[in-house]
Structure 1
């Protein structure tokens, strides 16, 4: 069975892409004295027994998994805020260009408008009554009135064009001010979220360091017991795969089952190491479905499914804060990347506090 399992995994990608900055940074920090520069992780209290050590390891890993999802969520929030900021900056540039163009158009009409205003101020005779008074003949009167009509029409058109240009300039300036305000707001929000990301990543680094510290106190037998079996007793993966109906959910489950035995790593998204939401995202990506990165965002994707209606390939969520996720494998079982020290495995759904499910 082990040989067959290994051959299935070799069907996956042979090249390992660069690790995410978060995953690599956290793992390196944990293995080589993790935590922020100048700060040492708080030592975990020494367990009194092997059983206590294993339980402490489980509890600390659970805390680290929660922090991992929080840090990923904060990073996703920051990425969204930075996108808004970039869009706002682009609108500022476009609005500024519109203001410049509108001002240039106003400048074209200003000399004409100025001359008309000066002529009116100086008493220029441009009305029909004046033409009647100074005309020597009916024909001269008609000629003068016709000329006045042309001048009046041209002046009226120029005044309308000037008004349109000034209105456009005013609107452009208003839009530019609004865009600048939005850009400042987006920048402030991005900076606030950036600070939150830094705090959460620092908390996660410290938590990871504690997990690694306690892991080092476990015996080989304890580590093996903690890792458990990749499949529950009586589970037949080949039969399950043979019975699956092709579809995005079941096909994603089939892809995910090829990763059984791969290690859990905080912040990892594959192809051969994962955190819980990273495994779900990777599995669905293999069948062309782009799902969100974090468990909380995944819980808002797709459509809700009642627990009584679960089908293989549905995505199941756990804990009140939705900080863990897996893929339902049927018969009350799920595929998931559990926690540090426990490879990707198939386990009972009831082994973790159930929250909800979605179908992608």
Structure 2
């Protein structure tokens, strides 16, 4: 079976017209690859245009204020991608004279660029013969060639990479990588693949042996962890309080309201009692105006149960002023928040009331 030629022939009739395919600019390709790591193509396209408009060069990204960067990224999730982009841009400016490296090995030295992104940039922008192996590629190769090694194991990753190296077109490596990505997105999909019209159906191990749903093989995932967040939307005159998250945790560099995290969920009466012991609310004479029902927010390895408590205070204590930034409420929309908070502010009528008038 001539896998490469069959794939490229299929691609000639089915290629998607995507904006980052109309350029050989390695910076633009890098940005597109990072955006697409955890984002659907249709969702990622407007972010791609917005990002390269705001930060058109490596230098512009390296110089970008972190708040502006996170605001542009807001809504895409997996915010470490944005922070790594900036750190990578600074590294390229400082260590590579502002020029993105043109080899796979050199690209791997850049912060946030892993094997897949390095291969994509090297092959798309510089024509390097190196396979870009992502979830689509694992799925296609496992099905067509009957590979049962778990794709999330170190052995599996090495085995699939070596197989892809054997198959990749030596004349058109970039086009091959684009083709196999599209083939996984359009033809050999995770569910309900189009096997009847597949150019490999005569040779496909999974199709011939009725194992489509069994391949690729994945290891057992741990169940997601539940976390319980209690956010305090405090109205102090026409001001409220926020802080930038800086811990090595979710949503680093994004803003949030004063947060109390506990290992359990409390009812309304229990929350009212617990408030009295929070350091940032001591001696503030808080008046509870609203307590939301828990809002469920699902992340890859966690489930956040967020309760929003709207308070009004007449005075702010030292802890509140020292640990949080006091801002005019009407400026909330200018700050980068996690999607959980941003969505709540935009959609919840009580939150809009909090923003627009006194309660």
TM over 0.5: no
Place the TM-score, normalised by the shorter chain, in its bin: under 0.3
Q: Name the structure with the higher helix share.
A: 1
| TM-score, with structure 2 as normaliser | 0.20
> Of the two structures, which has the highest relative contact order with CA contacts closer than 8 Å and spacing of 6 or more?
1
Look at both structures and tell me which one has the larger radius of gyration over its CA atoms: 1
Q: Name the structure with the higher strand share.
A: 2
